[in-house]
Chains A and B, each alone.
Chain A
């Protein structure tokens, strides 16, 4: 290399030297012959051309000798000038070329390669999503994708034929061919899911469809329709903002399908495969000249959920039957609902249902604006909302398990004490009478019965004790002692479930109220009434169904588990091996005394058998109420019918499953929510024993609803 350069330079220098040498030699020769040249030419001009040399020719013409000598010297210098010019031209060009082609060549070479090569990405199939037992909830199917080369834009006939065959308006076809959003060298997607007969026609008449090709591409398919839609989520083309925020270890290209919600989004990095990369050489007009190298795409990893699909199906069917028996919300009981079932031993979420639901398939290939608008209207009750983690509701009497435990801790309640419930209560003497749900009152009642019967009066007393014991009222304990006890069971915080968009709910505190009502100072004062609302889970209390399930699991086992939906990850290439496995994680062990916990458990144990409705519901599912610990709740929301709650765990002695059910505007917890919980609990046991394995298809929301007249039941928890 170096030698070649040196040789090249030497050759060049030699050539330039030769040029100069020739010039010098030539000029000497000219000097010698100069006389003659000068004379000859001088004469040939001054005298007429005929017979010039006859007279001249010789150096003897002395008169012209000096002139001609001068002239030749003159000419000589002009030759030298031209020679210097030539040397300058070739010298500077050679130096410049040496600089560019030898010294700086590498950077130019890099630039040339950047010009020449373009990497085109082919999408990778996403991994499957299975339930805990390997039932595929989300799969791929190969969709026939009709692709057009970029130059089809010049072929009006082909576009017209495509329009006719695929039934897509010509203008849309044109737009799609012009769409370079996937890269100038990528083929344009004309139809991402064409019918087989249309594709067959195109392939049979390929000469009439030049530049059109058909590819099989993987697209999401949902064998059970909307089953677990809120858990798995939906997919869509990556957006500009998402592209701007992708982590460095991900390779997401424009046009890729990414998870947009649910686990598709949460575990997008696992589900998304490796792109196929096609390194192509493209010319200046963007046309692909040749393919340099190609790697095939790799399918993403499969994920297995903790969800039990058969149970999930039971839960979703139960909600649908209850709320919209004929598919129209408002014709049944309640307008929306959520069910969460969890394994209390490891936090595995076995069922997470939210109603109304949607079919993720509506998002495949892009959701239509009409459907999106429909899902965004109040009359559709927002099917995209995952009420299990995003819906926040007053906890109502289900809260009493926790506020009661707080009362026990501070001695504001104990099992030997009794209260008198007259149906109305004005413990603060403010004249603002608060009522127990039972109008006639419960009479004389102990702590256990207060939970079993859900007597509000007893809890008003407990709240009053907390209120006056607070330091701001001259007491000795914290103003938020009650809230702190509630918070021990995870309320007011995210549970940490592996889904995005989880709400934290709210435990109202004096500080929260002061801030919330900062603009209205008269409302910002923490009053005794806030405390009595709080103690029965009404007023400003907000919880999610998932928090409820986790908290009741906490009562059942004494541990707060971190709920999770991912069971394990398996590599698509070696599905028998588990790449990642998720095990239970204890988030916290609430600092409560074992005695108090036992007291509350005992009280919850009594709820089922005391209610004929609950007993009937659970017995119908083949479950023994003696194994059940549960609590009902009826949340009051101003201007709406009551929100029905039911939280339970089974078996009582050795807790395994916790189920929380919430029905928006369903009415009484026992009457409306407990049958749903009973069905789900029954399904859990049946599934565990292998009796329930069938999964059916769930329909997504059609957005239809009629005015809801309410459950017309009074509060009855």
Chain B
């Protein structure tokens, strides 16, 4: 069974193999640029979070450090694990997802705050929907991996689509539209990268847009008949209205949040107001500074240059992700990595976009930046999967010489 690899090695005696070989197995399996990028991101995030939490006693920086440490442990464990063992457990992921996402509805451990049943309390308060992002990615990737990058059969397409929609429907019972949108986006990435027929995708998109419009129309009709909106919550409606009319709605809470977020970003200027000097968040004017509006803290204190630095790190991460995906030894690995990258892209767009008024306001955190230890652990876990994919990619597997055989 080692025969093909010997052949391959002979056939492609590239520079990489030769130079990498003397360094030894473990070291070569570490993607140095990837690690450096991630380390910079995490450190940058901690620096900003430190400033954000220093003005607010409700948050604890050591808890965030704890999240990072726990995350690193989780990441290392996952990285050492061969992700390919997971590719066939579609049904298991589906069950785990449903149980996780619906767990806040359970008695005793379920917690309802601010109208959403999104938390469970098992000693510490957790948001299962956040952890479910991992299993959603694995679920969607495992579904699409079966089709080997080509899905032209309508029945199969509908089946895949239906399975992918299950987590979304579950999370909407909480309800948590923000996380639900993340799930949808992961599914979309899986479908696109997984090779679903272009026509199917366009149809799905059209139907999706149609459904959203329908929700609004029906809701308006219900409001006309009963005087109350039923389908969309008032705050969701307000967020959308604030987004559509940014200047005129500063009097509402949502409008105020957006206004203060924009002031924080804009007042940062080119070089920022200095570390720990941002008046908007240190004075508590900016709401939810360490979590949803962490980017505003960064932009206020480090200015346009600091924001560009963050974007550059994100670009680097995305590029590394693409490389890992392209180098993966199977389509499951590629799909997992692309779904992870896609999810981050969506979160970056949505979080930074909402801060500067490009996107409607939702409670989507910014990867590696926002305060929250479970969010941090989830991101590290995803890094772990990326590492695992990298470690078991073609050239690394060859060098290791054991991976494919499990």
Residues of A within 8 A of B (CB): 1, 4-5, 8, 11-12, 15-16, 18-19, 22-23, 26, 29-30, 38, 40-42, 44-45, 51-54, 57, 70-72, 74-75, 78-79, 81-83, 85-86, 89-90, 92-94, 96-98, 100-102, 104-105, 107-109, 111-113, 115-116, 281-285, 289
How many B residues, CB 8 Å from partner?
Answer: 65
Q: Which of A8, A85, A89, A109 has the most CB of B within 10 A?
A: A89
Min CB gap B401→A, angstroms: 13
Cross-interface CB contact of B195 among A57, A78, A82, A92, cutoff 8 Å:
A78
Question: Cα distance A583–B217 when bound, in Å?
Answer: 81
Q: A93-B311, A101-B265 are contacts. A115–B283 as well, Cβ < 8 Å? A: yes
Apart from the given pairs A12-B308, A22-B323, A79-B326, 9 other A-B contacts in the complex at a CB distance below 8 Å: A15-B316, A41-B331, A57-B7, A82-B192, A90-B315, A92-B349, A97-B352, A113-B279, A284-B285
Question: Cα distance A89–B367 when bound, in Å?
Answer: 15
Closest to A33 in B: B394
Within 8 A of A (CB), among B335-387: 338, 341-342, 345, 348-349, 352-353, 356-358
Contact A82 B1 (CB under 8 A): no
| Sample (10) of A-B pairs whose CB atoms are under 8 Å apart | A4-B270, A29-B326, A42-B148, A45-B148, A82-B342, A83-B322, A93-B349, A105-B269, A289-B282, A289-B283
Residues of A within 8 A of B192 (CB): 78, 81-82
B267 CB-CB contact with A under 8 Å: yes
Question: Cα distance A23–B315 when bound, in Å?
Answer: 12
Contact B358 A92 (CB under 8 A): yes
B388 CB-CB contact with A under 8 Å: no
B330 CB-CB contact with A under 8 Å: yes
Q: A19-B315, A54-B3, A86-B315 are contacts. A8–B285 as well, Cβ < 8 Å? A: no
Question: Cα distance A22–B315 when bound, in Å?
Answer: 12
Contact B283 A90 (CB under 8 A): no
Residues of A within 8 A of B146 (CB): 45
Residues of B within 8 A of A29 (CB): 326
B299 CB-CB contact with A under 8 Å: yes
Contact A26 B3 (CB under 8 A): no
Contact B404 A53 (CB under 8 A): yes
Min CB gap A9→B, angstroms: 9
Q: A19-B318, A86-B315, A86-B318 are contacts. A105–B270 as well, Cβ < 8 Å? A: yes
Min CB gap B398→A, angstroms: 11
Contact A8 B308 (CB under 8 A): yes
Q: A78-B195, A81-B192, A112-B264 are contacts. A18–B319 as well, Cβ < 8 Å? A: yes
Q: A5-B270, A111-B263 are contacts. A97–B307 as well, Cβ < 8 Å? A: yes
Cross-interface CB contact of B279 among A44, A83, A89, A281, cutoff 8 Å:
A281
Min CB gap B364→A, angstroms: 13
Q: Mark B270-308, 1 if CB is under 8 A from A, else 0.
A: 110000000110111100000000000001100111011
Contact B358 A96 (CB under 8 A): yes
Residues of B within 8 A of A1 (CB): 270
Contact A112 B326 (CB under 8 A): no
Contact A285 B284 (CB under 8 A): yes
Contact B149 A71 (CB under 8 A): yes
Residues of B within 8 A of A81 (CB): 192
Min CB gap A151→B, angstroms: 14
Cross-interface CB contact of B4 among A15, A57, A98, A109, cutoff 8 Å:
A57
B46 CB-CB contact with A under 8 Å: no
Q: List the 5 closest pairs (A to B, CB-CB), nearest first.
A: A108-B266, A112-B267, A284-B284, A101-B304, A116-B279
Question: Cα distance A23–B49 when bound, in Å?
Answer: 33
